[in-house]
Structure 1
Amino acid sequence: ERPETPPQPSCLVPFGRDRDFVDRGTLLDQIRERCAAPASRVALVGLGGVGKSQLAIEHCYRTAEQSPDTWVFWVHASNTARLEQSFREIADRGKVRGRTDPQADVFKLVHDWLRDAKNGRWLLALDNADDAAVLSPADSGSALQQHLSRYLPMSRHGSVLVTSRTKRVAMQVVEDGDIIAIEPMHNAAAHALLRKKLRDVDEEDDSITQLATTLDHMPLALVQAAAYIRERAPRCSVQQYLDEYRQSDSRKTSLLNREERHLRRDEAASNSVLITWQISFDHIRKTRQSATELLSLMSFFDRQGIQEALLRRQSSTADEGASAVQADDEFEDDVLTLRDYSLITVTRDAKTFEMHSLVQLATRTWLESEGQLDRWREQFISHLCAEMPTGAHENWEKCQALFPHAQAALAQRPKDIESLEEWALLLYKAAWYAWQQGRAGEAEQMSVLSMEVRREMLGEENADTL
């Protein structure tokens, strides 16, 4: 090859910088400090749509600004074709020797170029590293000869920043201690993001705060909602959006499934927060079906205080021949899988779980599309009915813990006759407790629904309906 003029370091981020970017506390400082260490490898791990890539983009631009002599590379890891293409772009921009040879291993060429300190400092962002198969040579059609991590040199003059939905995949590239968990925004940051994205739309602070809370402070959902409102203003306000959103699950789904164009998201990634998560659900189903079933069941409960006892029935019925120890192991592995994808969290007492309400909605929407919604609604009612005691005084403590789930069951009237009987019994027991607690309105609502079902099924003259 003829000698080429050595290239100057440049920034290869394929997305424009977000003028509406909102600083999220100390997150960017943490990323900067971790990446500044020699031979650092850092991963941002969290739910799809939680803002991992946006943080990585901003960090890349700040690095390019503050250190113009540093190469900034962006690698798409969503599939094997885009992964290879990203490495070819690095080879072209760095004028890596041998890159024009059709038989050359572009990953090896880039690895050797990155390892050579004479080529300067570099930061490489590995975005959407969600699928372990893409990082492995076992993937069909992959040009990788060995695991991708082997092609990312541990060089004192370089750093790697990974974004991933799953800790398990991230740990194929980084150490456990180098993972930064990315959570939804805090209220102030979510409020600021909505304000910026709404542009000139004049809105009350209270409405914006309500919308941020309703959407679980999830950045992608907030951006979606703001785009919807902004495009329809003045005929749509934040309050009108909230009113529509609260109408029903189907209306929520309709609003959140809209694919508003997002210039700073990978073209292979969905701009709908629900579809983004449903991709994760599909992947979990392929790798661990029982974890998908656990998630399906959990999606019907109140988002907080989901007791382990309510879910263990699911684990024990999965394989009647399994020993208690094996069932325990399977349940723990299912929980670990869902935690790995940040779909659930474990509370401090380690006995109860929590989920974001949007994740629950996305799960139920996915179940409906798969024709499984009724099945898991019935499972939920069966488990809760079996655990819910009567409202007698000695049961108050347990009733108090389970009552929010009974309230969630109000909107989950089943179609199956046997399940409908359980639903009526559940509401009867919950109404008993509510009445004992002086919550007359809730007690009346539940008891009326319970009685209506019993009349439908047993007739007006049956003793249970009198």
Structure 2
Amino acid sequence: MNIEQFHHVTNNYTYPPPHIGSHSTFDPPQDRPRAPYWTVPFGRNKDFVGRESILDQLLDMIPPNADEDDCQQTVISGLGGVGKTQIALEAAFRVRNKYRDCHVFWVPALNITTFENAYREIGQKLKIQTIENDQANIKLLVKTALSQSSDNWLLIIDNADDATLFGKNTELSSLSDFLPFNLKGSILFTTRNVEVCQKLDVRKENVIHLTEMNQSEATNMLQKGLNPHQMGDPQSLESLLEFLTNLPLAIKQASAYMIKTGMAISRYLEYCRSSDEHLIQLLSKNFDDRARYETSQNPIATTWMISFNAISRDNPLAVNYLQFMAFLAEKDIPKNILPPSHDELNVYEAIGTLKSYGFIIERERGDAYDMHRLVRLVMQNWMTRNKGELQTFITTLMRRLDVVIPYPKFSNKDICARYLPHAIMALKFQDHTLDQLLRSRILQKAAVSLYYLGKFTDAKHMNQQAVDLHVGLLGDEHPDTFTIINFSLMIATCDGQGVEWEQISRKVVELRRRVVGAEHPDTLMGMHSLSYAFLKQGRYKEAEQMAREVLELRKRVSGAKHPNTLDSMYTLSVALSKLGLYKEAEQMGQQTLQLHLEVAGAENPKTLRSMYNLSTIFYGQGRYKEAEQMSRQLLELQEKVLGVEHPDALRSMYSLSISLYKQCRYKEAEQISRQLLELQEKVLGTEHPDALASSNLLSIILCKQDRHKEDDKWTPTTPSGNEQHTNILK
């Protein structure tokens, strides 16, 4: 039944007047059967696994004698597909086996019709005399009969998801008005909507919030029915369960598909990972399930679509928030990234609705949320069906991100880093935006954030997309375009190839000289970058000459203490050091460091860069103790400011290790080298030049300690990274 049909039923249904009297209530016959009544529509699930702690808790709460002073009400709540119905079903069988005199009744509350049909069956079991009358108020008759019964009974109301059916503010009578009350009775609800618990006024301690299975339970469930050849390696099984978030319905769906097709777990996982389209296709597959209502569909995607439609009907702001979150990263979604509302109360209600369905989880600090991974994917699929609406929506999302995310600077890098995963996720849909300049701005903000995190390759790739968009839209002479090109030069100083870098720099210098003049800061930026490109290619004399020229121009144009001037001083110092002119290099390096400390402070990245330059100058002169001291001081600051995994921090660890080695302090050098190599292999990969250089260094350190067997693992190679220290064997 779709939403429109459902509204038609609920808004036009009228209840006949009750005819309750001495002849219409439950009057059990004298020859009552020994077996208690049982209206559960499903057989026992022989493949049911796990959830024992939940079942133990339930069996303490739901028996009619669990509370002698009240009619016990218990709720199992949780995300659609988490296994609420299956647990209620298993609990029903266990109650029947343990309490032989307890009637067990089952009512699907999918809508008013399923509720009333189940009540009619109960009435027939109870032999209520007027239950078949055309004008009988079936719900009231059954409520009265159960309320007056002297027998123990358990009433299970499954899929009580629609809060409008149980609320007190509906035009029609609420279904909660027809729940029986009897000290010998107990009612168990299953719901994906915690708001229903509030409507029913169920005590908080009687609500069991069901989450995904643990790893052992999920593994056992997935393995049911699979052949040994389908199992494959344990890593594939573990990875698939992680991918499916240990969600029972998703596991059941995957298992059913693999049993049907004979597909191995590793192949199914590969198919899931290949694309979101393939995954949503698998999540939409129907499968046979005996514990399913005839009118229901069981794919996980369909299950959640029902909830999406209900939210869309009842709380449009909530579904708007869900749509927004679906195109952001799934973890740590800041509250302020969501569209603003003029009414804060509406915001709380919308967020509350999403939490009540289990689609999002509020983080402890209360200003951010996590979204279920598969829910996010299904919502994306729901949104992408209408291309026109998707374009409008993605453009709106990008505009919101542009407002919320400040232009990244070193001073706000931590704030921007928090937004970065969400910008990157949104940019996966950038082709759908209607505003290309907006798209370029988000790309550039993401690129700058990546740069400050030391992810230079990713920053370069993203910034180049922004450059291409700006050049295409505004031309290469537009000031905004050049701002982005300038940033390309900054990235190139960290992650550029010398020849490519030189070509870009020469093009910038030529262009800016023509447009703004030879001494404009933008032109000098290109010349400065060109000097760095010479350094990268080992053309140290050309680098020195260019750096001197730019330094003099910048002193005259911008002043001796301007950050750009200090950049040129730094470059000149590095070039002099490479030429072996250590005295002049050290003098320039010390002057640069002091000015950086004065202008920017000890924790500024450029100050740290100047400290590193001095440590290499000390090392080049054989002043290993001073190089060690500078490296230790630098590393402490870098780990605090940039993080232990930042490329600059790793480079300083290498310098520290090699300085210790040169002082014959092999144990200390080995300790630092091992720590460094572990970090580099994690961050950069085992084949990265810097990781190979560190492996080479560790091998040499072990050789010096006559530990040749251990050295076999690290075969010396000529290090291609950290080239300033490749002479360690001399």
Instruction: Verify same fold: TM over 0.5.
Output: yes
Q: CA deviation at 1:173?
A: 3.0
Aligned residue among 248, 255, 275 for 1:226: 255
Aligned counterparts of 2:164 and 2:43: Cα–Cα separation in 1: 29
- Looking at structure 1, the residues matched to 227 and 166 of structure 2 have their Cα atoms a distance apart, in angstroms, of 40
Residues 1:125 and 2:151 are matched in the alignment: no
Q: Is the 8 A contact 1:297 1:379 kept in 2?
A: no
How far 1:189 moved relative to its partner?
2.1
Equivalent residue runs for 1:251-270 within 5 Å: 251-270=278-297
Structure-to-structure mapping, 1:59-74, within 5 angstroms: 59-74=91-106
Task: Return the match for 2:114 from 74, 78, 82.
Answer: 82
Q: Give secondary structure in 2 for the equivalent of 1:130.
A: coil
The 1:19/1:451 distance shift into structure 2, 3 A limit, reads farther
Q: Is residue 387 of structure 1 aligned with residue 404 of structure 2? A: yes
1:181 aligns with 2:198: no
Equivalent residue number for residue 212 of structure 1:
241
| Aligned residues of 1:20 and 1:197 also touching (Cα < 8 A) | no
Q: CA deviation at 1:303?
A: 0.6
**Quick check: 1:425–1:450 contact (8 Å CA) kept in 2?**
yes
Alpha-carbon distance between aligned partners in 2 of 1:136 and 1:88, rounded to the nearest angstrom:
22
Partner of 1:283: 310
Higher share of residues assigned helix: 2
SS at match of 1:377: helix
Distance 1:137 1:385, change over 3 A: closer
Match of 2:361 among 323, 341, 345: 345
Per-residue deviation, 1:197:
5.1
Matching residue's letter, 1:243 = E
Aligned to 2:340: 315
8 A contact 1:305–1:352 mirrored in 2 = yes
Residue 15 (structure 1) aligns with: 42
Alignment pair present for 1:111 and 2:143: yes
Would the aligned equivalents of 1:197 and 1:223 in 2 still touch at CA under 8 Å? no
Decide whether the 8 Å contact of 1:377 with 1:414 is kept in 2: no
User: CA–CA distance in 2 between the matches of 1:199 and 1:72?
Assistant: 37
Name the SS for the 1:160 alignment partner: strand
Deviation at 1:388, TM superposition (A): 2.7
Given the alignment, which residue of 431, 446, 451 partners 2:467?
451
Displacement of 1:373 in angstroms is: 2.4
Post-superposition offset of 1:71? 0.9
Call closer, same or farther: CA 1:283–1:457 in 2, change over 3 Å: same
Match of 1:319 in 2: none
Structure 1 unaligned segments of length 5 or more: list them: 317-321
Does the Cα contact within 8 Å between 2:390 and 2:432 map onto a contact in 1? no
Which has the larger displacement, 124-133 or 105-114? 105-114
Does 1:424 pair with 2:440?
yes
Percent identity for Structure 1 against Structure 2: 30
CA distance in 2, matches of 1:97, 1:27: 39
CA contact (8 A) 1:378 1:414 kept: no
Q: 1:411 aligns with which of 414, 428, 451?
A: 428
C-alpha contact 2:166 2:200 (8 A) present in aligned 1: no
Greater shift after overlay, 254-263 or 57-66?
Answer: 254-263
2:32 maps to 6
Structure 1 residue 115 displacement after superposition: 2.4
**Higher relative contact order at CA 8 Å, sep ≥6: structure 1 or structure 2?**
1
- AA matched with 2:80: G
Question: 1 CA distance for matches of 2:208 and 2:180?
Answer: 21
Q: 2: CA distance between counterparts of 1:451 and 1:134?
A: 55
1:393-452 CA-partner distances (Å, limit 9, x unpaired): 11221122112113313411133441x322222222222222232223322332233333
Residue 301 (structure 1) aligns with: 328
Pair 228,97 (structure 1): closer, same or farther in 2 beyond 3 Å: same
Q: CA deviation at 1:90?
A: 0.9
**Which secondary structure does the structure 2 equivalent of 1:15 belong to?**
coil
CA offsets, 1:23-70, max 9 Å, x none? Answer: 225211222222132321011112211111111111101111111221
Among residues 256, 260, 273, which one is paired with 1:246 in the alignment?
273
TM-score by length of 1: 0.89
Q: How much has 1:163 moved relative to structure 2?
A: 0.9
Q: How does 1:27-106 map to 2 (within 5 A)?
A: 27-36=54-63, 37-38=66-67, 39-106=71-138
Q: Give the Cα separation in 2 of the matches to 1:450 and 1:267.
A: 53
Q: Which residue of 1 is the match for residue 703 of structure 2?
A: none
Q: Distance in 1 between matches of 2:268 and 2:443?
A: 31
C-alpha contact 1:227 1:260 (8 A) present in aligned 2: yes
Structure 2 contact 322–354 (Cα < 8 Å) conserved: yes
TM-score using structure 2 length: 0.58
Q: State the shift of 1:220 in Å.
A: 1.0
Question: CA shift at 1:255, angstroms?
Answer: 1.3
Shift of the 33–68 alpha-carbon distance from structure 1 to 2, 3 Å rule, reads same
**Aligned equivalents of 2:395 and 2:383: distance in 1?**
13
The one-letter code matched in structure 1 to 2:266 is Q
Aligned partner letter, 2:392: R
Q: Distance in 2 between matches of 1:102 and 1:199?
A: 54
Equivalent residue letter for 2:395: E
Give CA deviations for 1:289-316 in whole Å, capped at 9, x if unaligned.
12111111111110111111211xx124
Of 372, 395, 402, which aligns to 1:378? 395
What 5-or-longer segments of structure 2 have no aligned partner? 1-22, 486-730
Determine helix, strand or coil for the equivalent of 1:334. Answer: helix
Give the equivalent residue in structure 1 for 2:184: 157
How far off is 1:151 after superposition? 2.8
1:437 & 1:137 partners in 2: Cα distance? Answer: 53
Cα deviation code 1:231-264 (max 9, x no counterpart):
111xx22222222222222222211111112221
Return the letter of the residue paired with 1:355.
M
Residue type of the partner of 1:430? A
| Offset, 1:4 | 7.5
Partner of 2:720: none
Change (3 A) 1:373 1:176: farther
1:180-236 CA deviation, whole Å, 9 max, x = no partner? 212222233222221225365333221111111111222111111111122111xx2
One-letter code aligned to 1:220: L
Paired residue type of 2:160: A
User: In structure 1, what is the Cα distance between the partners aligned to 2:219 and 2:182?
Assistant: 40
Counterpart of 1:345 in 2: which secondary structure? Answer: strand
Q: Structure 1 CA distance, aligned partners of 2:363 and 2:469?
A: 36
| Paired AA for residue 32 in structure 2 | P
Moved more, 214-223 or 192-201: 192-201
Distance 1:207 1:414 in 2: 33
Q: Indicate yes or no: 2:449 matched with 1:433.
A: yes
Paired AA for residue 417 in structure 2: Q
After TM superposition, give the deviation of residue 73 of structure 1 in Å.
0.8
Task: Give the letter for the 2:240 counterpart.
Answer: L
How many residues are treated as equivalent by the alignment? Answer: 447
Q: Which residue of 1 aligns with 2:419?
A: 402
In the alignment, the residues of structure 1 paired with residue 329 and residue 225 of structure 2 have an alpha-carbon distance, to the nearest angstrom, of 30
